[in-house]
Chain A
Amino acid sequence: EVQLVESGGGLVQPGRSLKLSCAASGFTFSNYGMAWVCQAPTKGLEWVASISTGGGNTYYRDSVKGRFTISRDNAKNTLYLQMDSLRSEDTATYYCARGGRGTGGHDYWGQGVMVTVSS
């Protein structure tokens, strides 16, 4: 069974940092591109970043470029999102999602982790 379990969220002050993790199991992690998608309270889905299977290619939405870093450790089956210089508008639930190989869509999602940026 495919499982994605996020951790690392919490309350953080503006300008500070946070690192999210997503532990993957039930599939060969290194064979799949991965992504982070966020959802601000009562709002819709917003793609944040994606990473290729080997980690060599990364992509970001403009609002997080230079502040967030997506990475992965295929030996540990874990996806990360390093979030620096956090802003109040980064407050959201963050989901990690698998990029389906046959489907091309985000075919499995974690349960999400809440990040609150507030003083």
Chain B
Amino acid sequence: DIVLTQAPLSVSVTPGESASISCRSSKSLLSSKGITSLYWYLQRPGKSPQLLIYQMSNLASGVPDRFSSSGSETDFTLKISKVETEDVGVYYCGHRLEYPNTFGAGTKLELK
């Protein structure tokens, strides 16, 4: 199974500042179709997860452009610029390259 390792497990950010979350894969997530099968999700407190980023670097519908993501075949970074109150929650990376799909352990973002 592909293991996704996130770091840090928690981050505390001053509103208006930036935050970065790392996700490292145990295997290349580049598919034979040239798509990098890496996704970012946000789960706000008490809510269901929502898709933020698809195929490593594309913003999902309705997601503000304060969110961005980049990476290689195995190392990925989610960046949140100008953090706002609504960004609080747990961020998960996940892949859909093969079965089983797996998720990282999650990174909890809190405000200072």
- Listed in ascending order, the chain A residues whose CB lies under 8 Å from chain B are 35, 37, 44-47, 50, 59, 61-62, 95, 99-100, 103-112
The interface bits of chain B over 75-112 (1 if a CB of A lies within 8 angstroms of the residue's CB, else 0) are 00000000000000010101010011111111000000
Residues from chain B with Cβ under 8 Å of A37 in the complex? 49
- Listed in ascending order, the chain B residues whose CB lies under 8 Å from chain A are 35, 37, 39, 41, 43, 48-51, 54-55, 58, 60-61, 90, 92, 94, 96, 99-106
- A107 in contact with B101 given A44-B106, A45-B94, A112-B48 (CB within 8 Å): no
Residues from chain B with Cβ under 8 Å of A103 in the complex? 39, 51, 54-55, 58, 60
Other-chain contact of B100, A61, A106, A111 (Cβ < 8 Å)? A61
Counting chain B CB atoms within 10 Å of each CB, the highest count among A100, A108, A111 belongs to A100
In the bound complex, do residue B94 and residue A109 qualify as a contact, i.e. CB atoms below 8 Å apart? no
| Consensus secondary structure, chain A interface | strand
Inter-chain CA distance A73–B27, complex, in Å, is 35
7 additional contacts (CB under 8 A) given A45-B43, A106-B39: A45-B49, A45-B92, A47-B101, A100-B54, A103-B51, A104-B96, A106-B94
In the bound complex, do residue A44 and residue B60 qualify as a contact, i.e. CB atoms below 8 Å apart? no
Other-chain contact of B37, A95, A104, A108, A111 (Cβ < 8 Å)? A104
In the bound complex, do residue B48 and residue A45 qualify as a contact, i.e. CB atoms below 8 Å apart? no
Residues from chain B with Cβ under 8 Å of A45 in the complex? 41, 43, 49, 92, 94, 103, 106
Residues from chain B with Cβ under 8 Å of A46 in the complex? 103
In the bound complex, do residue A47 and residue B49 qualify as a contact, i.e. CB atoms below 8 Å apart? no
Counting chain A CB atoms within 10 Å of each CB, the highest count among B58, B61, B101 belongs to B101
B6 CB, nearest partner CB in chain A, Å:
9
Across the interface, name the chain A residue whose C-beta is closest to B35: A104
Inter-chain CA distance A112–B48, complex, in Å, is 7
Residues from chain A with Cβ under 8 Å of B35 in the complex? 104
Other-chain contact of B104, A44, A50, A100, A110 (Cβ < 8 Å)? A44
